[in-house]
């Protein structure tokens, strides 16, 4: 089970006790926000794509949407989301609990700047009823992210479409 994999991953840092397990589903941004008691934008959703037949993960704010032009400019490929089966085999988690922790080796993780508005965010923790609250620096550390990128839209509060 993927949540056990995530717990084992956080155990090496002495942080497995911070994983929140809910009595209700947290499989979507809205459900996760309700379960965690926060605004939907603070849910750090893990989006998975195929770039040149290899998986890539982008962690973005719950209210952000992928901007195809920005994605293509950064990755030099069209944003093609993984199927649920590909997510399971290529990432190591199932849709609804995908997170950047305890994933398969070699999957690059990027953090979208849409998250930088918040002191803490809530990524999933490997199941459809779990999360962990992390500061941005903790998210960087534990996700082993490569860098911060700007590939999303619709989250800015002024000027751009909402």
pLDDT in tens, 90-129: 999 999 999 999 999 999 999 999 999 999 999 999 999 9
Kindly state whether residue 136 falls inside one of the protein's structural domains. Answer: yes
- Is the confidence at residue 161, as pLDDT, over 50? no
Residues 75-81, mean pLDDT to the nearest whole number: 96
Kindly state whether residue 76 falls inside one of the protein's structural domains. Answer: yes
- Is the confidence at residue 81, as pLDDT, over 60? yes
**Residue holding tokens 């911070």?**
18
What pLDDT does residue 160 have? 40
**Helix spans in 13-153 (H):** 29-36, 68-75, 84-86, 136-143
Q: Sorting pLDDT into bands at 50, 70 and 90, what band is 156? A: confident
What pLDDT does residue 66 have? 97
* Element (DSSP H or E) covering residue 6: helix 2-11
Kindly state whether residue 158 falls inside one of the protein's structural domains. Answer: no
Kindly state whether residue 160 falls inside one of the protein's structural domains. Answer: no
- Is the confidence at residue 88, as pLDDT, over 60? yes
Q: How far lies 66's CA from each of 16, 22, 85, in Å?
A: 31, 28, 21
What pLDDT does residue 2 have? 85
- The range of the structural domain enclosing residue 72 comes to 2-153
What pLDDT does residue 1 have? 64
pLDDT more than 90, % of the chain:
94
**Residue holding tokens 């009595």?**
23
Q: Are 59 and 112 in contact (CB under 8 A)?
A: yes
CATH number, domain with residue 9: 3.90.960.10
Collect all residues with Cβ–Cβ distance below 8 Å to 130 and sequence separation of at least 6: 3, 6, 19, 20, 21, 22, 26, 97, 124
What pLDDT does residue 62 have? 97
Kindly state whether residue 20 falls inside one of the protein's structural domains. Answer: yes
Kindly state whether residue 10 falls inside one of the protein's structural domains. Answer: yes
Kindly state whether residue 132 falls inside one of the protein's structural domains. Answer: yes
DSSP category for residue 4: H
How many Å apart are CA 68 and CA 71, to the nearest integer?
Answer: 5
Kindly state whether residue 53 falls inside one of the protein's structural domains. Answer: yes
- Is the confidence at residue 157, as pLDDT, over 90? no
DSSP category for residue 157: S
Per the structure, the count of domains in the chain is 1
């Amino acid at each position: 089970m993927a949540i056990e994999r995530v717990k084992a991953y956080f155990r090496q840092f002495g942080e497995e006790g911070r994983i929140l397990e809910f009595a209700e589903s947290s499989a979507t941004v809205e459900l996760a926000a309700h379960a965690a008691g926060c605004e939907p934008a603070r849910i750090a959703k893990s989006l998975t794509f195929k770039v040149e037949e290899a998986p890539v993960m982008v962690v973005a704010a719950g209210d952000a949407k992928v901007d195809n032009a920005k994605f293509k400019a950064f990755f030099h490929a069209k944003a093609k989301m993984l199927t649920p089966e590909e997510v399971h085999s290529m990432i190591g988690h199932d849709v609804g609990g995908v997170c950047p922790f305890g994933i398969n080796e070699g999957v690059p993780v990027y953090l979208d700047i849409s998250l930088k508005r918040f002191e803490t965010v809530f990524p999933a923790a490997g199941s459809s009823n779990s999360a962990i609250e992390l500061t941005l620096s903790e998210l960087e550390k534990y996700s082993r992210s490569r860098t911060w990128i700007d590939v999303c839209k619709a989250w800015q509060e002024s000027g751009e479409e909402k």
